[in-house]
Structure 1
Amino acid sequence: MEEWTAALAATDLAQYLRHGRWSYAAVNALHILGIGLLVGAVAALDLRLLGAWRAIPLVHLSRPLVPVAGAGLALAMATGLALFAVRAPDYAAMPLFAAKLALIAAGTLSAIGHHLRNGRLLDRASPAALRLAGATSLLCWAGALSLGRLLAFSGD
């Protein structure tokens, strides 16, 4: 793992982000945009799954929010990998980073599983399955977001 992270940190992309005047800031801003799209869409959908806004049919919220969350996740993952490359050995050694990745994986796999079982718009799910999906998702994404922010205050 150490060899892989050292090699990643030595790539041209990592060097460019590490030494470019605006490059790191631009990628970081795109990462924050991706997180905002992901967590904003997920939080609204999860609250509906947990019982908020029952007067609004689930399909009316899930139709726009599921693709927004997916786009946010894709953007956050792509930019997150680029940001990771800048300090790959340091981040890989942090337990907080491993926990963050575990929560991202759990949130992603949980969402994929619920959508595969219950339809892209979750229209075939029971109320109990919807509550489970909403609670799991909120915990995973709020936890990943929190750990990501804590990373800025840990280490050196």
Structure 2
Amino acid sequence: MEALLTALAETPPAAYLRGARWGYAAVNASHILGIALLIGAVVQMNLRLLGWHGKALDSAALIRVLRPCAMAGLILAVLTGLLLFSIQPADYLALSVFQAKLALIALGTAAALWGSRRTPPAHPRAHALVSLACWIAALICGRMIAFAA
């Protein structure tokens, strides 16, 4: 594992980002944009499932519009997150808050996949609460990395 992490840290993109202030800033800003797209869409979809938007908004139509936004945000956040991770992979992996973030992202993604099945979850409100909790906690853990490193 250590050899893999070292090899990742020595890749050209990782070396570039360690030395390029504006390159790092652009990747970091793109990561934040991905997170904003993801969390913004996820929160709105789950609030609708919880009934907070009332009956005025059709759940299926809202989800049809927001799901691609959430997926694009997740893809952007994961790709840019991998680039940011490559700068100091061993250091990040040693942080418990980073490990928690990865676990929460996996749970949030699993919840999204579970909720997007043709058969809706048996308990949509519970599903929405779990999804909200996972993504918001992942966001908080991600922010805490700056203070734990």
Deviation at 1:117, TM superposition (A): 4.4
Q: Is the 8 A contact 1:48 1:58 kept in 2?
A: yes
1:64-117 CA-to-partner distances (Å, cap 9, x unmatched) read 111100000000000000000011110011111111000000000111012124
Please name the residue that 2:64 is paired with: 63
Cα distance in 1 between the residues matched to 2:144 and 2:82: 18
Secondary structure (helix, strand or coil) at the match of 1:51 reads: coil
* 8 A Cα contact 1:37 1:69, kept in partner: yes
Match of residue 99 from structure 1: 100
Q: Is the 8 A contact 1:111 1:133 kept in 2?
A: no
Q: Which of 132, 136, 151 is the equivalent residue of 2:130? A: 136
Q: Report the Cα distance in structure 1 between the residues aligned to 2:118 and 2:63, rounded to whole angstroms.
A: 15
Distance 1:58 1:98 in 2: 33
SS at match of 1:52: coil
**Quick one: distance in 1 between partners of 2:147 and 2:23?**
22
The residue that corresponds to 2:5 in the other structure is 5
Moved more, 43-52 or 28-37: 43-52
Question: Partner residue of 1:48?
Answer: 48
In 2: Cα distance, 1:18 partner to 1:150 partner: 20
**Structure 2, unaligned stretches of length 5 or more?**
none
Q: How far, CA to CA, are the matches of 1:83 and 1:40 in structure 2?
A: 22
Letter in structure 2 aligned against 1:142: I
Gaps of 5+ in 1: 119-124
Q: Deviations over 1:97-151 (max 9, x none)?
A: 1110000000001110121243xxxxxx36x522122111100000000000000
Q: Greater shift after overlay, 128-137 or 72-81?
A: 128-137
Output aligned runs, 1:16-95, within 5 Å. Answer: 16-55=16-55, 56-95=57-96
User: Which whole-Å CA distance do the structure 2 matches of 1:11 and 1:113 have between them?
Assistant: 35
